[in-house]
Amino acid sequence: MNEGKKAVFFDRDGTLNVNTGYLYKVEEFQWMEGAVEAIRYCNDRGWLAIVVTNQSGVARGYYAEEDVQRLHAWMNEELEKYGAHIDAFYYCPHHPKGSVPEYARECSCRKPAPGLVETACKEHGIDKSRSCLIGDKEWDVECAGRAGVKGILYPGGSLLEVLRRNMD
């Protein structure tokens, strides 16, 4: 275990990629400005780059967990072309008003609950005091606070520049 590792937790939709609403198809994926560079920036500094994302489309029956996993694998294949990678992906497939019974419930992993970040910290030996979560929604910042990491609201524009302003 890498005790005391620094990590940047990235929200996915609206932060790393354009939020098209319930994205699961590779052909609909578009990187946000500076997203690839932000991930490589983390990689180059030895910081873990970890995705934490709500994927209620699973609970709503729009797509399956396998679709989420396939998209995440594709993201890393694309990043590899730029000398970058995401170290881990954590997602919440639940929603209390979902139509798929096994996923239709309250949970501790749906942001703003801190479960995804807490699980990643345990599994990767992350030092919360040196880490942050960057996302485009207030619940991302709330999740960060509840998990004990710095929260950064991404307002759009270059993700790399927002990350550099807040982490250097």
2 Cβ contact list (under 8 Å, min separation 6):
48, 124, 125
Residue tagged active-site, from 11, 87, 136, 140: 11
- Helical residues (DSSP H) of the chain, grouped into ranges: 35-44, 65-80, 115-124, 138-147, 159-167
Q: Is 136 a catalytic residue?
A: no
Q: Is 67 a catalytic residue?
A: no
In contact, 115 and 90? CB cutoff 8 Å: no
Q: How far is CA 26 from CA 53, 63, 80, 126, in A?
A: 17, 13, 16, 30
Report the alpha-carbon distance of residue 23 to residue 52 in Å, rounded.
15
- Residue 150 is given by DSSP the state E
Residue tagged active-site, from 13, 87, 136, 140: 13
Token output for 42: 């983390």
Report the alpha-carbon distance of residue 164 to residue 140 in Å, rounded.
18
Catalytic residues: 11, 13
